[in-house]
Structures are given as C-alpha cells and as structure tokens.
Amino acid sequence: MAAELVSFEPATGAELWRGAIGDVDGEVAAARGGWATWAARPLTYRIETLRRFANVVRAKYEPFADCIARETGKPLWEARTEIDSVIAKVDISAAAYSERSAQRRLDSPMGSRMALRHKPHGVLAVLGPYNFPAHLPNGHIVPALIAGNAVVFKPSEKTPATGAMLVDCLREAGVPADCIRLVIGGPAEGKVLAAHSGIDGLLFTGSARTGLALNRAFAEKPEKILALEMGGNNPIVVWDTPDLYTAAVLVIQSAFTSAGQRCTAARRLIVDQRLYDPLIAELNKLLTRLIVGEPHAKPQPFMGPVIDNEVADQLTESFLALLMKGGRPIRHLERTIDGRPFLRPGVIDVTDMADRPDMELFGPILQVIRCDDFDAAIAEANNTRYGLSASLISQTPALYDRFWANARAGIVNWNKPTNGASSSAPFGGIGWSGNHRPSAYYAADYCAYPVVSNEADAARASIGIGLADS
C-alpha cells in the first residue's frame, strides 16, 4: 500500500484529505503505555472529560457535518443528525455506565461485605465503518474511554478524514493523546490491528464477511473481548393496513435513507398479495419524486450517492444478477451520472425466484416478496441467516403480537421504519448480525468486566468439620 491514504468526495471526485499510513505497532505501544494512568483517574474525571469532548464537537458542528457530508456523500441534513448523535452519546454513555457498571454492595454473611466493581479491559481496538464514520465508532470509543480503557481507532479507509477529526476533538477535550490513538490505513492495517497481541479486545462494525473472519480469529483468544455488529438482510412486512401512502413512506425511509447504506435498512419488502398492486403504485409515485443529489444541493436531496464507484458497480451487478435469476423489475437501479456513484433506487419482485440469495446488498435495492397469509409472511421474514431489524406495518395489534413473538431479530418495530434506532436502548442482533454483544446503551457491558470481592476488615477463620483430634 502507498505511504499515504487519500480520501475523495463521492459526489464530485475531488480530493478531500490525505494522510500518512499509520504504524500499528507504534500506536498500540503508545496506548499500552498510557491507559493505566487514564484508568486510575476517577470516573467523574473521565466523564467530565468526555463532556468537554461533546462541547468541542458542538463548537465545530458545521465544519464537522460538512466533512461527513463531503466524505460520505450523504446530504448535509443527514450529516447534521450524525453530529447530534455524537454529542448525545456522552450523556447516554455516562447514564449507561452508571446503571450497568455501577459499584454495588451485596448481601454477605458473618459481618463481611460483598462488593461489585468493574475494571476496564485495557487497550481496545475499534474498527469503524464508512456509512456513519463518526457516530458508529464514537458509540464504541466514548463508552470505552468512560470505562477507563485506551482506544486504538482505525477508521474505514473510505472515510479517514472524519475519523481524524473525531480523534482531534477527543484530544482537544483533554483525553490523553496516548489513550486515543489513530491508525490510518486500509484492510492490511485493520488485519494487523485486529491480530495484535497488545490489544485486549476488538469492537467492530462492518460486513458479515469480515465479522465472521474476526470471530474465527478470536476463537482461540477467550481472554480478549470481541463485539461484532455485522448488518442485516432486514424485512419490512406490510399487512392489513388501510393507509398505503403512509406504508409506502415507511418503506422508503427504511430502504433508501442513507442511500440504503444502513445496517438496519430494509432489504426485503414482504407484502400481503391483496395489497401488492396499490402499495407498489404508492411506492412508485414517491420514488418518482425522490431527489437524489450531492450533499449541499438545493432543494436538499433525500439521498446522496453511495460511497464510491466500486460499490455502485457491485450494486449494479447484484441487481442484474437478481434479474438473471428470475426477478421481475419494478424499478430498475439507475446510474444517473457517468463516472459518479449516484444511483436511483431499484425495486425488484423476487417472489418467484427459486433461490433467493441471503445477502446484505448494502445500497438502494429493495426486493419484494408477495405472501398469501401472515404465517407465510413471518416465515419469509425469518428466511435469513441475519437477525438485526424487522418491522411490521399493520393496524392490527394481534398481528404485531404474533410478529414480535416470532420475528428473529434484535430490533422488532411496529408501524415504524426498520432503521433509526435510539442510542438510549441496546442495539444488536442475532445470527449473522452480531455475537450477542449489543452496542448503544449496552456498550458498557463489553467495555468493562465485573469484579466481585468478598471483604472483611480483619481475617477470621476456623475449620469446624473434618479435623482429627490433636
């Protein structure tokens, strides 16, 4: 790999940022040298430092949002919501640590006392994705720092400028430089960091393929914490609802917000056969009006480009593959600007496809499946190795009760999109969507480990049974 990494704006192709490839060994060594001093600081000190970080981000609100918008291609309005989430994460993480990792006294017999406390793991590596290059790694970094860990952060090679700006804000707020380290690089640097003997754990957000490889690599390292968030092949089910316009809006918000580049995006629309034609008509009306444009365009676009031309090419090939396997196009995936990764959403009916691929098509492609009864719809929703998010659009509470009880997902919504999860709740899935280490509010669980102590002020002991007479 070249000595520098260069980041280009997806919407224009212009160079945005460049930086030297990082030294993984040096960054891990620095973190190992600094974390113990940070861990020894009082919890209140660490929390107040992170609150200063929130203030630093607040002061840089527009430049930071502009950086995210330019580097990812997402509309400026959406980049601003990402900054809002970065700021809000601090207070949420402080509350979560207090609730889930608090020091407690437990009942203990014979005048002794039982104490429950939590210790940081040490040095945690964070591998960040490109779709939310500030919010998602920040969701690991802030809880890890509050718990007393040092962090070595490698942002996606597609969004290094945002990662560098996030680290600059943390250091400006007073997080010791040795406790928040930045590794610039590509997959090679990520592999070296993940396998490094100097880390005590890895917090990962990204593809199932990479997550599965990491899971195998850590199988013989039970001493290291591994938290995986790996996306989904998420269903949205439309059943027994008279308001098909609203249903269509919820489907579009689920499938195409962030150009479909959300791990919680709806990949599959499962619909009552009787509602199929009128629902598709409403979807088509809205999709015709949907604005796809560059981040700063006026009027503001609903969605921007996907992250780069390579991804756009892969998505185009995937849509063509669905067609070749028997899918019936409802709206073709369209490349709107030659040489740039702008895509108009594609919608394809795959009901009659004999062998539907169970994969996360990370972009604006929605597969539609018609069903004749609700049990078949639930079975189709669960017809995936993933299990992150699922949503039911219906006016019938009894159907939601059945859906909630039977849907295999970590997030099950009713008359809401599949995406837009709150940081004030746990976030994670089952199957190929994660390894039972939910993030967001539950990130505190994997950033520190519990230590139970049975304590007494003086040593007192006797053996009442099993001793021979002296």
Q: How far apart are CA 307 and CA 163, in angstroms?
A: 16
Nearest Cα neighbor of 346 from 326, 327, 314, 319 is 319
Residue 229 a catalytic site member: yes
Q: What does the alpha-carbon distance between residue 9 and residue 119 come to, in Å, rounded to a whole number? A: 41
Measured torsion, CA atoms of residues 307, 262, 313, 17, in degrees rounded to the nearest 10: 10
Distance CA 170, CA 180 (A): 8
Catalytic residue of the set 27, 82, 229, 282: 229
Contact 107, 58 (CB under 8 A): no
Q: Is 263 a catalytic residue?
A: yes
- Residues near 324 by Cβ (< 8 Å), separated by ≥ 6? none
Q: How far is CA 40 from CA 43, 44, 150, in A?
A: 9, 11, 12
The SS3 assignment for 439 reads: strand
Give the active site residue among 67, 263, 371, 447.
Answer: 263
Q: Give the count of beta carbons closer than 10 Å to the beta carbon of residue 442.
A: 18
Nearest to 237 by CA among 380, 73, 138: 380
Q: Write out the H or E segment, with its range, that includes residue 461.
A: none
* CA neighbor of 87 nearest in space, from 61, 68, 66: 61
Spatial CB neighbours of 72, under 8 Å, sequence gap ≥ 6: 10, 79, 130, 131, 133, 159, 162, 304, 307
Q: Rounded to whole angstroms, how far apart are CA atoms 428 and 418?
A: 13
> How far is the first Cα of the chain from the last one, in angstroms, to the nearest whole number?
76
CA distance 432 to 298: 39
Q: Give helix then strand counts, H and E, for the chain.
A: 14, 21
Task: Dig out the tokens for 108 from the structure.
Answer: 């203990």
> Which residues participate in catalysis according to the annotation?
229, 263
